[in-house]
Amino acid sequence: MLTTIEGIYENGQVIFNELPPVKNKSKVLITFVEEIEASIKVKKRLFGTLKGTLHVPADFNEPLDDLKEYM
């Protein structure tokens, strides 16, 4: 049975995009198609993107009523 599964080879390891459909020890052939280092562009994160979207309540550090019997 032949099955093709896509993955990425990096630092001596192959990381599959999905689990192989085999349960037992199997022979594996690996074909390197292309290098992807140059094709992946990482977007830089903009600082302050979430500013104003998160809110911490004023009583955040106050003890919880549910835990009063343990204190």
Question: Please, which pLDDT band fits residue 37 given cuts at 50, 70 and 90?
Answer: low
Residue-level pLDDT at 10: 83
Tens of pLDDT, residues 10-32: 888 888 889 888 888 888 888 88
Can you read off the two tokens belonging to residue 70?
Answer: 């343990």
Residue with tokens 């955040």: 60
Q: What is the mean pLDDT of the chain?
A: 83
